[in-house]
Amino acid sequence: MMHTVKKLIDDALAEDIGSGDITTDNLVAPDQTGHAVILAKEPMVLAGLEIAIQVFETLDPSLAMESRYTDGDQLAAGDRVMALTGRLRPLLHGERTALNFLQRMSGIATHVSAYAAAVKDYPVRLVDTRKTTPGWRVLEKYAVRIGGAANHRMGLYDGVLIKDNHIAACGGITTAVTRVRANTSHLVKIEVEVGTLDEVAEALSAGADVIMLDNMDLEQIRAAVAAIDQRAVVEISGNVSLEKLPELARTGVDIISVGALTHQAQSVDISMRIKTGEATAA
């Protein structure tokens, strides 16, 4: 993960700075110093603080940075996320990149926290999907955890999920499960996506460990949970909204996967202000 994050930071800085910051480098002397404060402009769940710190450390390891907060803390509008002191050039060079990471990750964590709160009284696991920003998956899934939910598989490599297109390519659920079972470790669980009660019965008969009920209505979900009768883990996915979550959780399913945790999250408002003179503690 550390290698992935470092590459993301390096790529983001290269994308923004390019051959040089022609504004800052013509206005600010190389040795000019000062301090900056990063401020929350709205209520939020903080996520990505260490990433922002790494952005500035990449540009100038001598910068002094401090914060009274950690990821997962609830911030109010006006709260000071962190304070930074040192050369102004690297502070200005890294401002937008650091804020982009903070705003996106905190936006996801804040968004997810509302979903997590909606099911906190039910014995159900709320998870994300692979509907993430290309290249940012490791960070967005981290932000999901900070917001109070959990992760589904990280990618195609770390979990078997037989979806409708796999079933169509193989000619049926039983054939698909049999092929995967024959070619994977006995330690690997097999999940099958189904859309009807007949497919539920076939997936169960084929030995699926997890059965995903895709885009089923409440009546179908309840019938499927009863038919499965704890012989497989039951996941529901598709057309899940914040408003529907409590009712879905009451059906007795084990897992609710929600693509909206990431792809519908909006960045929160965070800004940085440069000041000259003596620094103020975070």
Catalytic residues: 96, 131, 163, 193, 214
Q: Please tell me what DSSP assigns to residue 150.
A: B
Q: Which phi and psi (to 5°) does residue 103 adopt?
A: -65, -45
The beta strands (E) that lie in 163-243 are given as 190-194, 210-214, 233-237
Q: Which residues pair with 257 in a beta bridge?
A: 127
Query: In 185-265, where do the E strands start and end?
Result: 190-194, 210-214, 233-237, 255-257
95 Cβ neighbours under 8 A, 6+ residues apart: 36, 272
CA–CA gap between residue 135 and residue 217 (Å, rounded): 34
Q: Which residues of 76-112 are buried (b: 16+ CB within 10 A; e: fewer)?
A: eeebbbbbbbbbbbbbbbbbebbbbbbbbbbbbbbbb
